[in-house]
Structure formats: C-alpha cells, structure tokens
Amino acid sequence: MEPDAESGAHLSEVRRRRAELYESITALEHALAAPVPGRQKRWATRVAEALEELSDDFRDHVVLMEGADGLNKRLIRRAPRLAHQVDSLTREHAALSQLIGELSTLVEHAQGSMERGESTRGEPSAEEAIEGGWDEVRVLGNKLLGALSGHRQRGADMVYEAYAVDIGGQD
C-alpha cells in the first residue's frame, strides 16, 4: 500500500535526514581510520569534530523518529504489527546515545592526556598515544559505528515493511 501524500512528505524528510546521518557516520569512520602517529592533534580534532556532527545528527534522528508526530507513531498507526520493532529501535536510541556520550568523554580524556604529555615531551609517540587512550577511542568508535549500521538496517527494513518504500539514504 502506497503512503499517502502526508506520509510521503514525512518519508522524504526521513530519507534526507538519514542521508545526513550517514554522512556523519562516514566522517567519523574516516576520522577514526586516519593514522595517529605524528598527527595526534590533527587526528584528535578531526575525531572530535566528526563525533560532534554525528551526535547532532543522531539527536535530530531521535526527534524525527520519536517526536509527537514522528515516524514511530506513524508506523504504529499504519502497521500495528510493527509495534515491537518500533519499541526495540527506540530502546536502541538510548543505548546509542549512551555510546556516543561515552565516546565523547573518552575523546576528551584522551585529548587531555595528550595535552598534558605535550607540555614536557612534544608530540607523543605512537606508544604514548595508545597509552593516552587513542586505541580505546578507536575500539569504542568502531563499536559505535557497528551498532549504528545495524540500527540503520533494522530501521530501513521496518519502514519497508510498513510502506514498501526503500528509504536508503546513501544516495
């Protein structure tokens, strides 16, 4: 069953925001994958900026999904059988928000460790960068990226079940 005009417009907005979220996920992935040795400050800045953008886009995603007239409510009205999936994805929002917060804290802590180390030794070595938490930042960052990927796939599947519309978002 095709979406009505109002739902179609809402799905277009969901698709647009989904593409923005994908761009910020990709930016974080690239920032995390960049080499650290000899580039700690630049690497840290790039990761922090990408994470801030991702955090903003994810907050927008949550509002778009869970808001007063968000997609979740529309999905349940259209296909009540999807209520359990909507609830599961909503719970994932809380877990993903927590992971984003943990990663932000870890990045701030690692930047602080690096700054303290720079005052006496200059740019930290690769070993000092790992000791300063950069390896942990990558591990947690990759955990977040994997969780976001799964969340996006489950969300796209759910929308397809309700509307037979692919919201992709990677175009």
Share of the chain above pLDDT 70, in %: 81
pLDDT in tens, 14-27: 899 999 999 999 99
Give the pLDDT score at 128. 56
135: Cβ–Cβ under 8 A, 6 or more apart, which residues?
A: 129
Higher pLDDT, 159 or 6: 159
Residue 19 CA, chain-centre distance (Å), reads 12
Ranges of each domain in the chain: 5-163
Are 4 and 158 in contact by the 8 Å Cβ rule? The answer is: no
pLDDT tens digits along 87-113: 999 999 999 999 999 999 999 988 877
* pTM of structure: 0.85
pLDDT at 68 over 80: yes
Q: What is the DSSP string of 11-35?
A: HHHHHHHHHHHHHHHHHHHHHHHS-
pLDDT for res 37:
84
Instruction: Name which of 24, 32, 28, 26 is nearest 134 in CA terms.
Output: 32
- At the second CATH level, the architecture of 5-163 is Up-down Bundle (1.20)
Specify the residue for token string 């995603």. Answer: 61
Residue 11 near residue 165, CB atoms below 8 Å: yes
